[in-house]
Chains A and B, each alone.
Chain A
Amino acid sequence: MQSGETLTAVLESGDTIQYIYDANAPRGGMKHTYFTPDKKFAVQFFNRQEDALDPRLQDRIRTIVGIYNPTIAEEDGGALGNTQKTAEYFRQRFCWPVAIVRQPEFGIVCPAYPDNFFFDAGASAVLNLKGKDKKSNWFTGKNRKYLSPAERGDFRTMLKTAIGLSRTIRRMHQAGLAHSDLSCNNVLIDPKTGSAVVIDIDSLVVPNKYPPEVVGTRGYIAPEVLATMGSDRGRILPSVLTDLHALPVLIYEYLFFRHPLIGPKIYSADSAEEDDFLALGEKATFIEDPNDTSNRPPDLDVTIGSLSKGLERLFIRAFVDGLHDPAERPTAMEWETELLKAWDRLYPCANPQCEKRWFIVRDENDPVCPFCKTRVREKIIRLGLKSEMRGRHGVYREKSDIIVYDRMPLFDWHIYSNVHNDEKASPEMRAYIAQYKGMWLLVNHGAEGMTSPSGRLVPKGSAVELKDAALFRMSGKDNGLLCEVSVNQNKS
């Protein structure tokens, strides 16, 4: 066979697909990859013949392509409860195998990653990255400096990326699936748009199926997996709980551009290998551990204490309480929820030179950008969104709160108590914030039955002024939230 030759693969469905042979095809730990002539699909084969012939592996992959597939609607043979809409949503976020190759040997067909996960020619002035995939660590390590500023995104788009990833993993875990090798290589990100796509889905751990043999990736393997590696008895295998270590490692890297466990502490003077084995395994210590500062870099500046209180708590649970006690780790859904709450407290930094451009308002009484230390001079307006407690008329509790900025869009989940910001919610903007002639306004853009503090209807295109202690309904319909405004006069 010659590189460039077009070959034909027969799928289990009986259909055929063509792919271009390449003697130097990219090789991962498990598989090597060819592309279809139009580059829309990747055709992948296993490196080891034993893998390709293993009936347990084949069986596991068949269920992944079929009944566990969140990128295909239930009516088309995909996952239970999956609608066309959610299938389409997750097609953008997973690179999920779509077919199984029967001939020339067992293999899989995956869609190619969406275009925005490949660098284009202008991505770097000093490296030729055109066509390379956007592995996470291009953006989070020291390589970041080689990328053109337009590629790098900002704090807001990195937070958005983290939300997208936790949602994707939550969906996978809801089905009982574990990725088993989540890492900077298997999550491609596009900070420009704040999106993430999870790849290498074929090594998923599937309930009641023989587990895959995963090698894992340095820095993302859960400490208990690394610590028990190589021992026959008591070996801990990848699972949902080990994904819940890798997920916050990635989130932490997106937000801080550093690894949560790699710090100055020396665990072994014998060799780098031994030191690493302990640093990422049995003896792993969070660089921001509040009780054990042995691994804390001396020049830590922005820390988890600069995020929302909820995210700080989750990171402590993930990297202190849960680092060596997997059951304590926050779930992907908890990450999604807290990241979304933090999203609603984002604020644009007034300093035009600030590289991060956005930050989370942790304390309304002391709003400072933690990255460049620029203090907010505007008054901080907080909207408390409350829902009536079920069965207790007139008793309200806070569903969420938001810190507003000029031109902030609001959505159904800010209007209704029964809508959450997830894959099922409508992406249509229903209202927005506008600063107008010294006033702060909430402009209705499609919320039905919004009323002013005095009870008058606020039709689409009209606005409510956001004054301190104002109280009004975001919607008069069932489940419409009550909005309470508090304005914090900054002293500075």
Chain B
Amino acid sequence: MSDYIRRLPVYLLLDCSGSMAGEPIEAVKQGIKTLVSELKGDPQALETAFLSIITFDSSARQLTPLTELMVFKEPALQAGGATALGGALTVLADCVKNEVRTSTAEQKGDWKPLVFIMTDGAPTDNLDDGIEAIKKVSVGNIIACGAGANANANVLKKITNNVLMMNNLTAGDMAQFFAWVSSSVKASSKSIDAKPGEAVQLPPPPQGFVIVP
């Protein structure tokens, strides 16, 4: 029988600027690996979640298009260059437009995408253009996580109300962040605890992470 399963698109926007070189970028790679493996261990996430990776340094690009978990391959990440966060948001808006199925009278659309942004610095390009671009597409929750001393919570607040700050860029903190992303995706694939249009409630962030009010 044909299935009528909706997809939950998950976009990860990852900072690959020069300051991420070394341990941080390795921790991100490991984090993606763990995330995919965790989600593949959860039947609902495995059925519904589709994952895409967008990276940004001096420019932004989609490294992995929205892909079903069973065939997802971790992309090769390299750190170097500046922090084109604005560009990344523009790329995100294009990807959402092209990849996410909309609901119509004839087709069952996808869920609103979940977007996780991870950055360790301030944007070096025009952020406002990116913010304008994402206003034009329909996304569910956007969660921005600032990592390390140079991340700027006020800038991230312009993108979304959901801003988390982690104090440093250690492998342990990064692992916690990805574990939380994984819990959030799992929770979103299961619950409809909100009325349509309202944001889905995500699990509380890991200890040591600060939610910016």
Contacts and interface: CB of A to CB of B under 8 A. Distances in A.
B47 A230 contact: no
A24 interface: yes
A226 B105 contact: no
B114 to A, nearest CB: 13
A433 to B, nearest CB: 35
Contacts of A262: 4-5
Interface string A131-146: 0100101100111001
Contacts of A226: 192
A129 B40 CA distance: 9
Contact of A143 (B43, B194, B198, B207): B43
Contact of B183 (A27, A217, A266, A274): A27
Nearest to B44: A137
Contacts of A29: 187, 191, 193, 203
Contacts of B207: 23
A293 interface: no
Interface string B102-142: 01111111111000000000000000000000000010000
B70 A126 contact: yes
Contacts of A141: 3, 5, 43, 47
A218 B43 CA distance: 14
B183 A272 contact: no
Contact of A266 (B70, B108, B138): B108
Contacts of B198: 230
A434 B6 CA distance: 50
Interface stretch (A294-302, A319-327, A359-367, A442-450): A294-302
B188 to A, nearest CB: 10
B206 interface: yes
Nearest to B105: A269
B112 A266 contact: no
Given A24-B179, A137-B47, A141-B43, A272 B4 contact: no
A243 B59 CA distance: 52
Interface in A29-72: 29, 47-48
B41 interface: yes
Given A29-B191, A48-B204, A276-B192, A24 B108 contact: no
Contact of B196 (A137, A142, A221, A277): A277
A135 B45 CA distance: 12
Interface string A258-282: 1000111010111111111100100
Contacts of A146: 70
B106 A266 contact: yes
Contacts of B106: 266
A262 B47 CA distance: 14
B1 A299 contact: yes
B109 A275 contact: yes
A125 interface: no
B197 interface: yes
Given A23-B176, A274-B196, A217 B191 contact: yes
A74 B114 CA distance: 49
A218 B47 contact: no
Given A137-B43, A230-B195, A262-B4, A271 B206 contact: no
A216 interface: yes
A127 B41 contact: yes
B79 interface: no
Contacts of B183: 27
A271 B1 contact: no
Nearest to A136: B43
A215 interface: yes
Nearest to A139: B43
A297 B103 contact: no
Contacts of B95: none
Contacts of A264: 2, 4
A410 B106 CA distance: 53
A183 B110 CA distance: 22
Contacts of A142: 3, 5, 47
Given A274-B197, A275-B109, A269 B104 contact: yes
B192 A27 contact: no
Interface in B134-193: 138, 172, 175-176, 179, 183, 187, 190-193
23 contacts: A23-B206, A27-B203, A29-B187, A29-B191, A47-B203, A127-B46, A128-B40, A128-B41, A135-B42, A141-B5, A141-B43, A141-B47, A143-B46, A143-B47, A146-B70, A218-B191, A266-B108, A271-B109, A273-B111, A274-B196, A276-B192, A277-B192, A299-B2
Interface pairs A-B: 10 shortest CB-CB: A273-B196, A274-B196, A24-B179, A215-B193, A230-B195, A269-B105, A137-B43, A272-B109, A218-B192, A138-B43
Interface of B: 1-6, 37, 40-44, 46-47, 70, 103-112, 138, 172, 175-176, 179, 183, 187, 190-198, 201, 203-204, 206-207
